[in-house]
Structure 1
């Protein structure tokens, strides 16, 4: 049965990832990595804004905040990465793991969506695949 995706669940998860990127951006030291994280953060900002517009167009009030679990994950990530011998590498690993979860959430929503909603999500999914590729190349992983 096709349905309108739960844009707010995706928005909240995206906002959680935004918080992680913001924390990482402040803490990583390598300028090239900072530039990449800033670019990925801009992509997430655009993605969230587009999803908020889609939720509004579907007659729903768009989410404006992340989740409590995301706040906890973000705080734990900062604690763990601050103790790492290579903080930049630790942030890349953390962001890569969290990005996979967001990507999987999108794919699950897309599989259940109507044709029109799936088309909307496909555009966002292509953005996420770009972030996915960046982070996993840096992390040296190939899982998805």
Structure 2
């Protein structure tokens, strides 16, 4: 049985996160942080594109948009960052928390995946772990 429908949920969540990274990239000031967010955006683009290709190859329509929850998280991020004394730091902490949630969703899907789907998800999970480590290192936090 194809797991492509489950990929669409992951794609939507990835699109939500990518939108947050784009928003953060447009607002942070520190050049090193801008570079890191740009790299993480490229990683999310690749992750989303790969999953969309798998859905398409399974003869299904891949998700192209995020979720309502993602739009709400975006508004909350704007509010939280807008009230912060240090916007760069606020974005790092917000993205780090959000990254935990995305990683958790992927880990849950991997735990329930068939062998073929598990192989696909492990590649994507490896990418997410890199982003996760970057953000938590900057935030001075650990996976929650």
TM range (shorter): over 0.9
Does residue 129 of the first structure (1) align with residue 106 of the second (2)? Answer: no
In structure 1, the partner of 2:108 is: 108
Is the Cα contact below 8 Å between 2:30 and 2:88 reproduced in 1?
Answer: yes
In structure 2, the partner of 1:43 is: 43
Is the Cα contact below 8 Å between 2:2 and 2:58 reproduced in 1?
Answer: no
Measure the CA separation in 1 of the matches of 2:60 and 2:2: 14
Which segments of 5 or more consecutive residues in structure 1 lack a partner in the other structure?
none
1:45 Cα deviation (Å)? 0.3
In structure 2, the partner of 1:73 is: 73
CA displacement 1:18-75 (0-9 Å, x = unmatched): 1100110011110000000000000000000000011112222100000011011112
How does the TM-score come out when normalised to structure 2?
0.95
Runs of 4+ in 1 over 6 A off after TM superposition: none
How does the TM-score come out when normalised to structure 1?
0.95
Secondary structure of 2:47's counterpart equals helix
In structure 2, the partner of 1:24 is: 24
Is the Cα contact below 8 Å between 1:16 and 1:67 reproduced in 2?
Answer: yes
1:137 Cα deviation (Å)? 0.2
Does residue 4 of the first structure (1) align with residue 6 of the second (2)? Answer: no
Secondary structure of 1:141's counterpart equals coil
In structure 1, the partner of 2:62 is: 62
Is the Cα contact below 8 Å between 1:106 and 1:125 reproduced in 2?
Answer: yes
Secondary structure of 1:65's counterpart equals coil
Aligned residues: 143
Measure the CA separation in 2 of the matches of 1:7 and 1:58: 11
